[in-house]
Chains A and B, each alone.
Chain A
Amino acid sequence: DGGITQSPKYLFRKEGQNVTLSCEQNLNHDAMYWYRQDPGQGLRLIYYSQIVNDFQKGDIAEGYSVSREKKESFPLTVTSAQKNPTAFYLCASSIENRNTEAFFGQGTRLTVV
């Protein structure tokens, strides 16, 4: 289903806990991205990675961390430092160094309880 998989689909977290969202792709794409989607605010870029072992902060990186140890995987950790973590998180991938289509995962809805 699309070649890029996010898990879990729904995630509940207690305040003060870190949580990691999974993103895996089998499209052989070099570039991967994490976006946060809030109502009325579109998609905002959290982090992106163009190549293994390298990643860059996006527009709203505070309170988040990522790793890119494998080409296929780009997990996102939402830390306790993120003030308002409840949101819909979307992972995407694309061919690096080209203006081409970004393929999105199904998303993870994170709720802090």
Chain B
Amino acid sequence: GENVEQHPSTLSVQEGDSAVIKCTYSDSASNYFPWYKQELGKRPQLIIDIRSNVGEKKDQRIAVTLNKTAKHFSLHITETQPEDSAVYFCAASPLMIKAAGNKLTFGGGTRVLVKP
């Protein structure tokens, strides 16, 4: 099955600096890569996703890049703000096979702390 590794496990940045989180995956059939943000005591929520036909996607201060050859993808947060402090999870999902559903495999998470 799929295996997703996420690094670093913790990340401390100064407000205004950039944060980068990297994930690698093992299953070459994976073609959907979402990122979820989980604030303390709250549910995970999707912040951005990318599909394998796209190499990069941006949404305001957040961007995700995908390298299918190397099987890795990254989340970039620019101009970090204190409200960006949270745990971030990457995930991977295979090609949509009827029996598989939207079976997401998650990375171990990165705890991001933005210091004012």
| A and B associate in one complex | yes
Residues of A within 8 A of B (CB): 2, 31, 33, 35, 40-45, 48, 50, 56, 58-59, 90, 94-102, 104-107
Instruction: State whether A98 touches B49 (Cβ < 8 A).
Output: no
A100, B104: Cα distance in complex, Å? 10
Q: Which B residues lie within 8 Å of A48 (CB)?
A: 101, 103
A97, B102: Cα distance in complex, Å? 6
Residues of B within 8 A of A (CB): 1, 4, 6, 9, 31-32, 34, 42-46, 49, 51, 89, 93, 96, 98-99, 101-109
A23, B96: Cα distance in complex, Å? 25
Instruction: State whether A102 touches B102 (Cβ < 8 A).
Output: yes
**Chain A binding surface, main DSSP class:** loop
Q: Which A residues lie within 8 Å of B107 (CB)?
A: 42
Q: Which B residues lie within 8 Å of A42 (CB)?
A: 4, 6, 89, 106-109
Instruction: State whether A50 touches B101 (Cβ < 8 A).
Output: yes
Instruction: State whether A104 touches B31 (Cβ < 8 A).
Output: no
Instruction: State whether B103 touches A105 (Cβ < 8 A).
Output: no
Which residue of chain A is the closest to B89 with respect to CB atoms?
A: A42
Instruction: State whether B102 touches A98 (Cβ < 8 A).
Output: yes
Instruction: State whether A40 touches B43 (Cβ < 8 A).
Output: no
Q: Which A residues lie within 8 Å of B49 (CB)?
A: 101
Which has the most chain B C-beta neighbours within 10 Å: A2, A35, A42, A97?
A42
Which among A35, A56, A94, A104 is the interface contact of B102 at CB below 8 angstroms? A94
Q: Which A residues lie within 8 Å of B51 (CB)?
A: 99
Which has the most chain A C-beta neighbours within 10 Å: B4, B51, B105?
B105
Which has the most chain A C-beta neighbours within 10 Å: B43, B49, B102?
B102
Instruction: State whether B31 touches A99 (Cβ < 8 A).
Output: yes
Instruction: State whether B43 touches A43 (Cβ < 8 A).
Output: no
A41, B105: Cα distance in complex, Å? 11
Which has the most chain B C-beta neighbours within 10 Å: A94, A95, A96, A104?
A104
A106 to chain B, nearest CB (A): 5
Which among A35, A41, A96, A106 is the interface contact of B101 at CB below 8 angstroms? A96
